[in-house]
């Protein structure tokens, strides 16, 4: 289902539920002295709503940063792979050809085998690690002569280390990211208190206005929770990062 359609359905459903609850509370619930509670309820709502807003903002900003970091890590991994290949061009022909062959195979492995698994949480095969280690061994075993080749060999090794670091971070972003159960508990419970419980303690407004207020609040908070859910994994959902970095790398290595 399209993310905008899914998000719209969640928001509409939450707004509908919030409106129905507001209607039932006003028509059949406790109403005696409700307007007199506005000051006290308003103070509590300000504190609880403010704390919940801080939590939601912190989680959203953290996830946005994670998506941006994952994008940069993927680009760094691909760029370092190309840089290592270019540095290896100055090494003996056997090493040069071996590194280039492995670099192309590695980029294809990441694009075709690993990337789909990053989104669905499947186990990542060890093929990429093996190819990266083979590149490292090929560079380390290269016989060099002169300062230029020594410098290029060192540069190739350094760039492969950058590939290793970026690859590790990419896999960690896919497997260890997201929002923990405790945080989700706080988000959901805080949302129910802020959007449903506390607004229904206020009185003095017309029934229609009260329903609109509660529905709007419930829909807005649900929209933020939906955004948090979609941003949990940088490689799936609404934040899905494409494998463009490695597609471009393959084009440059071809």
Give the 3-state secondary structure of 179-198. Answer: CCHHHHHHHHHHHHHHHHHH
Measured between alpha carbons, how far apart are the two ends of the chain, in Å?
A: 36
pLDDT confidence of residue 118: 87
pLDDT tens digit sequence for 102-141? 999 999 999 999 998 887 777 888 999 999 999 999 999 9
- 164 three-state secondary structure: helix
Residue 76: pLDDT over 90: yes
* Better pLDDT: 82 or 235: 82
In the chain, % of residues over pLDDT 90: 52
Given a contact cutoff of 8 angstroms between Cβ atoms, the answer to whether 138 and 98 are in contact is yes
| Phi–psi pair at 140, nearest 5 degrees | -65, -30
pLDDT confidence of residue 175: 65
- The CA-based angle 209-55-61, given to 5 degrees, is 105
pLDDT confidence of residue 245: 92
Helix pair angle (127-140, 147-176), 10° resolution: 160
Given a contact cutoff of 8 angstroms between Cβ atoms, the answer to whether 233 and 119 are in contact is yes
Any long-range contacts for 105-110 (C-beta under 8 Å, 24+ apart)? 105/131, 106/81, 106/131, 106/132, 106/135, 107/78, 107/81, 107/246, 107/249, 107/250, 107/253, 108/250, 110/77, 110/243, 110/246
| pTM (two decimals) | 0.80
* Better pLDDT: 57 or 201: 57
Residue 158: pLDDT over 90: yes
Give residue 30's pLDDT band: very low, low, confident or very high (50, 70, 90): low
pLDDT confidence of residue 61: 92
Rounded Cα distance between 7 and 1, Å, is 10
pLDDT tens digit sequence for 167-221? 999 888 876 657 888 999 999 999 999 988 888 877 666 888 888 989 999 999 9
Stretch among 17-21, 29-33, 121-125, 203-207 having the lowest mean pLDDT: 29-33
Residue 233: pLDDT over 90: no
* Better pLDDT: 238 or 131: 131
pLDDT confidence of residue 54: 94
Rounded Cα distance between 8 and 162, Å, is 42
* Better pLDDT: 165 or 239: 165
Rounded Cα distance between 90 and 94, Å, is 11
pLDDT confidence of residue 68: 87
pLDDT confidence of residue 39: 76
**What value does the mean pLDDT of the chain take?**
88
237 Rama sector, left if φ>0, alpha if ψ -120 to 50, beta otherwise: left
- The CA-based angle 109-115-118, given to 5 degrees, is 130
pLDDT confidence of residue 33: 54
Give residue 79's pLDDT band: very low, low, confident or very high (50, 70, 90): very high
Given a contact cutoff of 8 angstroms between Cβ atoms, the answer to whether 95 and 141 are in contact is yes
Write out the two tokens for 201.
């303690």
- 240 three-state secondary structure: coil
pLDDT confidence of residue 168: 92
The CA dihedral of 188, 194, 197, 198, to the nearest 10 degrees, is: 160
Question: Which residue in 252, 253, 245 sits closest to 115, CA to CA?
Answer: 245
Give residue 35's pLDDT band: very low, low, confident or very high (50, 70, 90): low
Residue 9: pLDDT over 60: yes
């Amino acid at each position: 289902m399209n993310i905008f359609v899914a998000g719209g359905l969640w928001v509409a459903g939450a707004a509908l539920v919030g409106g129905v609850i507001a209607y039932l509370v006003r028509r059949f619930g406790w109403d005696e002295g409700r307007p007199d509670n506005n000051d006290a309820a308003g103070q509590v709502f300000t504190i609880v709503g403010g704390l919940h807003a801080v939590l939601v903002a912190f989680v959203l900003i953290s996830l946005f940063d994670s998506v941006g970091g994952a994008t940069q890590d993927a680009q760094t991994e691909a760029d370092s792979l190309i840089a290592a290949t270019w540095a290896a061009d100055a090494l003996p022909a056997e090493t040069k050809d071996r590194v280039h062959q492995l670099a192309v195979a590695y980029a294809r492995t990441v694009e075709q085998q690993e990337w789909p698994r990053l989104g669905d949480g499947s186990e990542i095969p060890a093929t990429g690690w093996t190819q990266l280690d083979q590149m490292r061994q090929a560079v380390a075993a290269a016989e060099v002569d002169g300062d230029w080749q020594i410098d290029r060999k060192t540069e190739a090794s350094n760039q492969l280390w950058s590939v290793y670091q970026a690859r590790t971070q990419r896999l960690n972003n896919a497997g260890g990211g997201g929002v923990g159960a405790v945080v989700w508990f706080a988000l959901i419970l805080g949302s129910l208190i802020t959007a449903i419980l506390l607004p229904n303690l206020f009185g003095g407004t017309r029934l229609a206005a009260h329903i609109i207020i509660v529905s709007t609040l419930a829909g807005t908070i649900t929209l933020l929770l939906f955004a948090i859910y979609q941003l949990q994994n940088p490689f799936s959902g609404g934040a899905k990062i494409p494998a463009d970095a490695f597609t471009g790398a393959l084009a440059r290595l071809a």
